Structure 1
Amino acid sequence: MKALEHDHVFLGADHLRNERRIWLVIALTTVMMVAEIAAGTVYGSMALVADGWHMSTHASALLISALAYLFARRQARNPRFTFGTGKLGDLAGFASAIVLALVALLMAWESLLRLSNPVPIGFAQAIAVAVIGLAVNLASAWLLAGGGHAAHGHHAHHHGHDAHHALTHHGHDAHGQHAHDNGHSSHGDHAHHGEAGDNNIRAAYLHVMADALTSVLAIAALTLGSLYGWLWLDPIMGIVGGLVIANWSWSLLKSSGGVLLDVMPEGETLPGEIRQAIETEEDRITDLHIWQVGPGHHAAIVAVISSQPREPAFYKGRLSALQELAHVTVEVTRAA
């Protein structure tokens, strides 16, 4: 029995490293936030105090990602999570995307108010604050960019499996007997090109990039405003920034929401590869369900009808080259 039992730990390959990077970014942001609020209070600078409190909302948004990594890691072997805690990152990414959308709306609304009621701007001070903010955000982006290819919206490719990434097949043979098989897939260095990225690290990265974009647009608007007296440029840049951030938010909502609802992304080749590996003249797949259970890990239920049914372990062998399949259930039925 022991040999047939297995765990359901489907965390991303860079889980711990990503978690550490986000905590580092939170520490950096918090130090900067405290420094700005303190300096603003001492020197009577409203711009510094306002940016300090803005950074606190930024840090709390990053906290969503950090706590999701921490909880997913600590609860990874909790049997109440039937398919492990790998999807917690997508839940956190979805929540972060909503926060990002609210930030975009607030930016655009504030900018519209400024357009209708212009206020005097202390250009030198505001530019200094924006430059400090940009420096902190670029340092944060640099830290997070190394935390996984998904930060850039690309697909992450992982080679090899850890001990807990066993390829598991559980199925019924033609006579109703149960068969459990558990082992590693011998795929060597094969990397599946449709592998989904980590939406949690991507969410943190997008928060940092949204803040960096805001700083860049603010520096441009304030510099031109101070040179030519274009006070209207600052709120216009705010609206532009809001629209760009809203677009990033929508992209993150779609990808993380898709994982939560078990939607196969467009262009995903895994269903076709499973059919290609299993189907022959004797064997046909009658039902196929595939869903993501963590970054780079998919579960599948494969129902096979065959004129010459074999043990589920036989079909497991056919699927062993597909690295992304971390948990598979095979059901075999004899054709009439």
Structure 2
Amino acid sequence: MGETHNHDEENQSTQKLAIVAGINLVGFVAELAGGLLFGSVALIGDALHMLFDAVAYVLALGAVYIGRRTEPDGRWTYGLNRLEPLAAFLNGVLLVPMVGYLVWESYQRYLHPVEIEPLQTAALAAGGLVLNIVSVYVIQGRSMSLNERGAYYHLLGDTGASVAVIVSMLVIQFTGSKLADPITAVIIAAIIVWSAIELIRESGAIFLQRSPVSVDDVRQRILEIDGVATVEDAHIWELSSTLRVATVHVRDRTTTVDERDALNERISTILASEYDADHVTVDLVSAGTGAERRREH
């Protein structure tokens, strides 16, 4: 039942990412053509943002597809679930060259202002804003995977960028100041940097095996269970945003095999239900005899 639920969630995640990737590709083509035609570096920046978002979603789709269809074996004991944080990390890194381009092009526009068609550019940016809002509606939900959260950060950045382009074009239309265009492009670059940092931070935490919960809280919770003497060791980490692993080493006061099995089941249930651990390993060692039993769930 749980496995079926996970597959349903993965299918929904794949569908969402595919829809959002298609929307962003359409927006990229329209905004790039408009930016080149009307001379707005801010609109070109927004278009590039949408392109890199689409590439990011395609990478995420590939990671989900391969990870879901690769069964664990003797060498890949957890399958290829680590492809998800790897794809998310690469998505964050891919945003960096785009920032460099926007800052450089904005500087060139500052030195050599060009003619811009503000109303037409604003209309295209408004279309991009609508696409971004639709994408946010598609991707958002109560529980999002790492790649969905990455897409969500990208889309928030896109939405802010579209609003900034519209405002800058209105400023140019009513004041005649062409500096609004390169200034807006730099603002978009800052939004992109924020998106990249968030994505790299979350994926990096998974790669570096940062615990998603307080291990001290886990130790204290296990110590509250009848029959537990001490918690010698405890680790919780994530292989991906949808696969959490927990291992604990406990000294117990049980006297029979049935009591020990019941304690093992109790600890495993707590780690799974209260701390969302998908794969649990519990080592039980008698505090009196040193006898050891290991159970995996």
Root mean square deviation of aligned Cα: 3.3
Return the alpha-carbon distance in structure 2 between the equivalents of residues 66 and 296 of structure 1. Answer: 15
The answer on 1:136 being equivalent to 2:131 is yes
Q: Shift of the alpha carbon at 1:319?
A: 3.7
Q: Shift of the alpha carbon at 1:59?
A: 2.2
Q: Aligned AA for 2:37?
A: S
Secondary structure of the 2:130 match is helix
Distance change >3 Å, CA 202–CA 52, structure 1 → 2:
closer
Instruction: Give the gaps of 5 or more residues in structure 2.
Output: 289-297
Residue of structure 1 equivalent to 2:233: 287
Residue of structure 2 equivalent to 1:30: 25
The answer on 1:218 being equivalent to 2:165 is yes
Secondary structure of the 1:45 match is helix
The answer on 1:259 being equivalent to 2:206 is yes
The answer on 1:300 being equivalent to 2:246 is yes
Q: Are 1:300 and 1:329, in contact at CA under 8 Å, matched by a contact in 2?
A: yes
Residue of structure 1 equivalent to 2:12: 17
Greater RCO (CA < 8 Å, at least 6 residues apart): 1
Q: Are 2:52 and 2:95, in contact at CA under 8 Å, matched by a contact in 1?
A: no
Q: Aligned AA for 1:232?
A: L
Q: Aligned AA for 1:334?
A: S
Q: Aligned AA for 1:256?
A: S
Q: Deviations over 1:28-56 (max 9, x none)?
A: 3334555677x87xxx9365996897354
Instruction: Give the gaps of 5 or more residues in structure 1.
Output: 1-6, 150-155, 157-196
2:277 to 325, 328, 332: 325
Return the alpha-carbon distance in structure 1 between the equivalents of residues 269 and 263 of structure 2. Answer: 10
Q: Are 2:38 and 2:121, in contact at CA under 8 Å, matched by a contact in 1?
A: no
Structure with the larger helix share: 2
Secondary structure of the 1:118 match is coil
Secondary structure of the 2:102 match is helix
Residue of structure 2 equivalent to 1:238: 185
Q: Are 2:136 and 2:155, in contact at CA under 8 Å, matched by a contact in 1?
A: yes
Counterparts of 1:154-233 in structure 2, within 5 Å, are 156=143, 198-233=145-180
Q: Shift of the alpha carbon at 1:21?
A: 1.2
Q: Which moved more, 1:77-86 or 1:45-54?
A: 45-54
Return the alpha-carbon distance in structure 2 between the equivalents of residues 292 and 13 of structure 1. Answer: 20
Q: Aligned AA for 1:112?
A: Y
Q: Aligned AA for 2:174?
A: L
Q: Aligned AA for 2:222?
A: A
Residue of structure 2 equivalent to 1:107: 102
Secondary structure of the 2:91 match is helix
Q: Are 2:93 and 2:200, in contact at CA under 8 Å, matched by a contact in 1?
A: yes
Secondary structure of the 1:329 match is strand
Identity across the alignment (%):
25
Secondary structure of the 1:119 match is coil
Q: Which moved more, 1:206-215 or 1:77-86?
A: 77-86
TM-score by length of 1: 0.70
Q: Deviations over 1:201-221 (max 9, x none)?
A: 111222233222222111101
Return the alpha-carbon distance in structure 2 between the equivalents of residues 33 and 291 of structure 1. Answer: 37
TM-score by length of 2: 0.78
Q: Shift of the alpha carbon at 1:320?
A: 1.0
The count of aligned residue pairs is 276
Distance change >3 Å, CA 12–CA 284, structure 1 → 2:
farther
Residue of structure 1 equivalent to 2:265: 316
Q: Aligned AA for 1:328?
A: V
Return the alpha-carbon distance in structure 1 between the equivalents of residues 154 and 46 of structure 2. Answer: 16
